Structure formats: C-alpha cells, structure tokens
Amino acid sequence: MSRLIVVTGASAGLGKATAQRFAENNDKVLLIGRREDRLSKAAADITSSLPGADIDLLALDMSEADSVPRLQEYVKSTGLPVSGLVCCAGSALLSGGEDVKSVLTEWQDAYQSNVLTSVIAVEGAVPVMADGGSIVLYSSIAAYRGSGGTGAYGAAKAALHSYVHTLAARLGPRGISANVIAPGYFAGTDFFGDRLTAARETLLVSQTALGRAGDPAEAAELGFYLCSEPGGYVTSQVIQINGGSYHGV
C-alpha cells in the first residue's frame, strides 16, 4: 500500500528533489509551499519524468498556525495517515539594516521562517501521523559555523537541533522517529537567490573535502532513508551532509 508523505518547501531545491524521491517509490506525496504556481510547476516536472506519480499540492504558509486545519483536512480526505513528514521550508532573509529594529526584524523573520515552519508542520501532522512514521527537519551547516550578518539564520537552525531531541523522546513511544538533516552547500536550489556570487560559490566548494557542491538528489536520498523501514532505528540525530565541509569562516 502506498504511503502518504508530506514535504514542505517542495516547490524548489531540496524539497522538490525530496518529493521526487518519494514519488519514485510510488508514495503518495503532498507538496506544500506558499506559491501555488511554483507548486504546480514542480508537480508537472515530477510527473513528466514519472507519469502516474501520485502528487497533490497545497499552497500553505507553514509559518502560520492557520495552515494546520487545512493540512489535517487534506490528510483526512486521503484516508491515509501521514507516514513521513519532511520539513524543508526555510529561508534566510536579510534585513540589510544595522539599527536595532532591523536586527530584531531579521531575528524574528529567521525564527518564523525556519523554526515555526517546522513546529507548525509537526504539530499539524503528529495527530494524523501513523505510528512508526518519520519526521525530518532541515537545519544547516550555519547552525555550526554561524551565518554572517546578524547571525539570526544559523541560530534559528540550531534551535531545531534541540527541538528534535524533545520530539524523538515524545514520539518514540509511538515508534515515530525524528531527525534533522544539516546540509552544507547544495547547487541548483533557489535558496541563495542573487546572494551567491561566483567568488562565494568557489569558496564554499573549496571548503569541502570532495571539492564539489551537493546535488539535491543526495539530500533527498538521506531524507528518504530516514523515512524508510531500514532507517527506523535512527532517531534524535542531527545528520550533516556537506561533502566534508569544514566548519569556520
């Protein structure tokens, strides 16, 4: 029987690759993101390579608690419990200002975009999740090495490392695993927008042991494993995937 997998941030980058990986396994996949046109495009891209893929989409802002009832209504309408939840939604918005108000705005945005998006998705999914299911949250190498600017993005991601231990203990009695993936630099995503100069990209790649950027399919494979039966004993872990990138500057 096919599993129901929910992927937030599924219209681009690592989330889209993750949705594709589950679709390849004939899972039923719900794609969540804020912009419906981008979700439709992602769904079309996946079904063009996988005709018959069972893909649904919901345009939801996962930083808003109002998204919970809509997520739960959708799950109930499928008649399936959620077997896997992968929370890729996240972003690093820079306020650009140096006054206290701008700095605080950046910290609040970082927390809302990277922590609350996960908390809201988890709290929405857990009541409709299968015993034995899996939760994967997306952190970043920035949680270990800082993120420049005001430091808000890296600090927000680090909050997920603590959260996952609490989740694993709380949900372990139901056989539900909870883990964090902390990626280094992955190419082919929209994450950096126009902030990634050629020089910065060269630096990020040069900091890896493997001398290359990650491919979104590699992060997707890790998330897939963590939501699989063979990965079921892995819980309460923060797993780095960064090509051997060293930490620091």
Ligand X SMILES: NC(=O)c1ccc[n+]([C@@H]2O[C@H](COP(=O)([O-])OP(=O)(O)OC[C@H]3O[C@@H](n4cnc5c(N)ncnc54)[C@H](OP(=O)(O)O)[C@@H]3O)[C@@H](O)[C@H]2O)c1
Contact 66, 4 (CB under 8 A): no
4, β-bridge pairs: 28, 82
CB of 132 to ligand X, least distance (A): 25
Q: Closest CB to ligand X among 4 and 213?
A: 213
Q: Does 24 help bind ligand X (rule: CB under 6 A)?
A: no
Q: Which residues contact 128 (CB under 8 A, 6 or more apart)?
A: 72, 75, 76, 81, 82
Q: Does 138 help bind ligand X (rule: CB under 6 A)?
A: yes
Q: Which of 20, 95, 117, 134 binds ligand X (CB under 6 A)?
A: 117
Q: Which of 73, 123, 131, 190 binds ligand X (CB under 6 A)?
A: 190
Q: Does 191 help bind ligand X (rule: CB under 6 A)?
A: yes
Q: Does 136 help bind ligand X (rule: CB under 6 A)?
A: no
Q: Closest CB to ligand X among 145 and 165?
A: 145
Q: Which residues contact 235 (CB under 8 A, 6 or more apart)?
A: 168, 172, 177, 178, 179
| Six token digits for residue 70 | 């809509």
CB of 53 to ligand X, least distance (A): 18
DSSP state of 185: -
| Six token digits for residue 246 | 């060293």
Size of the site for ligand X (CB under 6 A): 31
C-alpha angle 81-46-223 in degrees, rounded to nearest 5: 55
Q: Can you give the C-alpha Rg of the chain in angstroms?
A: 17
Here's the x/- map for ligand X, 55-94, by CB under 6 A: it reads as ------xxx------------------------xxxx---
Report the interface residues with ligand X, using CB under 6 A. Answer: 8-15, 32-35, 38, 61-63, 88-91, 113, 117, 138, 140-141, 183, 185-186, 189-191
